[in-house]
Structure 1
Amino acid sequence: MNFTLIFSILVLVTGSVWCADKLFFLPRRRRLAAGHADAQTQKEALRRPVWLEYSAGFFPVLLAVFIVRSFIVEPFKIPSSSMLPTLDIGDLILVNKFDYGLRLPVLNIKLVQNRNPRRGEVAVFRYPKDESIDYVKRIIGVPGDAVAYLNKQLTINGQPVPEIALPDYFDEERMAYTRQYRETVDARSHVLLKNPAAPGVIINTYDFPFKDHCAYTLEGVICTVPPGQYFVMGDNRDNSSDSRYWGFVPDRNLIGRAFFIWMNFSKLKRIGQFD
């Protein structure tokens, strides 16, 4: 949010200077140039001052970047291992800003309603406990869903989500192997990790809005997703701070749908689309 605010102010300031140049400074330079007969003197008179050249001159570029970043696609960096193996630390990803509707930067007012998030999609959003922090998780439950995660088995609306066991995954952060599965949510397939040594009970939860929609047991948690809210989880199921602990993601906190890894400087093979 701070970067967005600073960038918005920068575009506004340079845009104001650009308009002032077109409406006031440029006509004045033209009048001064018209008063000279010498071509070289006219050229000097028409030249922008250095401060004006750098402020107004950068406005078109800044405006183009601002439009693309605010309404089309925005880059993010993955800082943690909570989405392994789908997303790794250091992955630089692109986020589609259009899918979930166009929002006014900084004020976050929705200008255009496109479509709602779907189960199985990877979304970037502002962390509800601290909206200055961006999180990335997978959408598991949409408004009205009954989501249960009991004994490490995910169930949505009473239907167990199918899993297929895969060869174990070597976690470079823990320097250990962990169980790997392919999970299918609404025909969207992705790979997730589970650590059989980690307990299934969910502890150290926060107070959060609509917590009365969730019931915690020794087996896990059962939640009914309220209107305008989403239940999210990390693919690294036993190493993810997500809706099981801090609650639902409001629609207003959504930033966009993550869809592409455009760079990982230490692991170039990771570049490409992901599920």
Structure 2
Amino acid sequence: MMSALTAVLYGALLVYGAGWWLGYWIGNFSLLLFVLTVVTLAYWLAERFKFAPARVAAAEALTAQDTQRRAELGKMGISQVDGNVDSARERLLMQPWWLDWTAGLFPVILAVFLLRSFLFEPFKIPSGSMVPTLLVGDLILVNKFHYGVRLPVINTKIIQNNDPKRGDVIVFRYPVDTRVDYIKRVVAIPGDEVTYTNQQLAINGQLAPVQPQGDFYDEDSMRYAPRFTEKLGAVAHGILVDPKRASIYRPMESFVNFRDNCRYTAEGVSCKVPAGHYFVMGDNRDNSQDSRYWGFVPDENIVGRAFMVWMNFGNLRRIGSFD
């Protein structure tokens, strides 16, 4: 019965994972990890308080029966008795496969769940919107507690920590579809007046300082683009901006919340950042769908602060922290 139930659960997990991999639906890894933790915990408790004691009791009963049998034969003068209960006892004590692959995995799954939910979470950069800071294929780590501690799955903040600052690179749940995670740079915080016109960024009427750094070869688009160093607060970081490339800014239909806080012109866009929200942009300014198009990031959507590349299998020199 339990082996069949476990097989069904593993089958459901396989179907869910395959559909996710093939793109039939968007998976929720946080929810999946939570469910796996709960299910393996149930098996672990059942093993600890029911199945393991039952196996031990059966093994002890077998040993007692063998001892009694040998004693009775001894009274009859038979001292040489065939049979050894040790192998049978070992088989009785052996954990079945369906417990080995559930209760046995609980400590590992619990450790991963706690680490990923409250400390650090890995992400893979899927697009070139953050070039030159982050490249396609970079595997990054995100600090989950820098902006406060949130309950997993429901994303409710229970402990306040730092507030996002201008220049921070953050991972957040895409406001248009919260099943998808995005990564961008915070350029404006609540109360700021942010303007991006003629490919120049200004915060509260002050242009963000930029310095040209020559051309950058963008492997994603396979072309060179002008690279600059931009300074937001204390953070100096690279951006790609092509002054010769015309950009047209229009709000997406999904830009609903606080839409009246933004004004669009032929030169660009200007927005007043509402309380509890942030204005984010990609460092690859001409190749990024960001707050200029779909609006502000609510604080409750923030996953954490990205701070380092822990691996890039195509370029090991990418490993390290970034601004």
- CA drift of 1:22 comes to 1.0
The aligned residue for residue 247 of structure 1 is 295
Q: Does the 8 A contact of 1:178 with 1:196 survive in 2?
A: no
Q: Which runs of 5+ in 1 are unaligned?
A: none
CA-atom RMSD in angstroms: 1.4
Asked if 1:191 is matched to 2:210, the reply is no
Aligned residues: 275
- TM-score under structure 2 normalisation? 0.82
The aligned residue for residue 266 of structure 2 is 218
Q: Which letter maps to 1:16?
A: A
1:268 to 290, 313, 316: 316
Distance in 2 separating the partners of 1:197 and 1:132? 36
Q: Secondary structure at the match of 1:80?
A: coil
Asked if 1:24 is matched to 2:71, the reply is no
What pairs with 1:134-145 in structure 2 (closer than 5 Å)?
134-145=181-192
The superposition leaves residues 157-187 of structure 1 with CA deviations (integer Å, 9 ceiling, x where unpaired) of 1221111111111222333221111111111
Q: Secondary structure at the match of 1:29?
A: helix
Distance in 2 separating the partners of 1:215 and 1:56? 57
- CA drift of 1:30 comes to 2.1
The answer to which of 94-103 and 107-116 deviates more is 107-116
Larger relative contact order (C-alpha < 8 A, sep ≥ 6)?
A: 1
Distance in 1 separating the partners of 2:235 and 2:251? 31
Q: Which runs of 5+ in 2 are unaligned?
A: 1-26, 64-84
What percent of counterpart residues are identical? Answer: 52
The aligned residue for residue 282 of structure 2 is 234
Rg larger for:
2
Larger strand proportion of the pair: 1
Q: Does the 8 A contact of 1:150 with 1:200 survive in 2?
A: no
Asked if 1:156 is matched to 2:203, the reply is yes
What pairs with 1:82-121 in structure 2 (closer than 5 Å)?
82-121=129-168
Q: Which letter maps to 2:267?
A: E
The superposition leaves residues 218-242 of structure 1 with CA deviations (integer Å, 9 ceiling, x where unpaired) of 1111111111111000000111000
Q: Which letter maps to 1:3?
A: F
Q: Hey, which bits of structure 1, 4+ residues long, moved more than 6 A?
A: none
1:65 to 104, 112, 126: 112
- TM-score under structure 1 normalisation? 0.95
Q: Does the 8 A contact of 1:119 with 1:186 survive in 2?
A: yes
Q: Secondary structure at the match of 2:62?
A: coil
Distance in 1 separating the partners of 2:248 and 2:95? 67
Q: Secondary structure at the match of 1:106?
A: coil
The aligned residue for residue 46 of structure 1 is 93
Q: Does the 8 A contact of 1:123 with 1:255 survive in 2?
A: yes
The aligned residue for residue 41 of structure 2 is 15
The aligned residue for residue 6 of structure 2 is none
The answer to which of 1-10 and 199-208 deviates more is 199-208
Q: Which letter maps to 2:37?
A: V
Distance in 1 separating the partners of 2:167 and 2:188? 9
What pairs with 1:172-183 in structure 2 (closer than 5 Å)?
172-183=219-230
Q: Secondary structure at the match of 2:111?
A: helix
Asked if 1:56 is matched to 2:76, the reply is no
Q: Which letter maps to 1:113?
A: Q
Q: Does the 8 A contact of 2:130 with 2:284 survive in 1?
A: yes
Distance in 1 separating the partners of 2:302 and 2:229? 26
Distance in 1 separating the partners of 2:218 and 2:243? 14
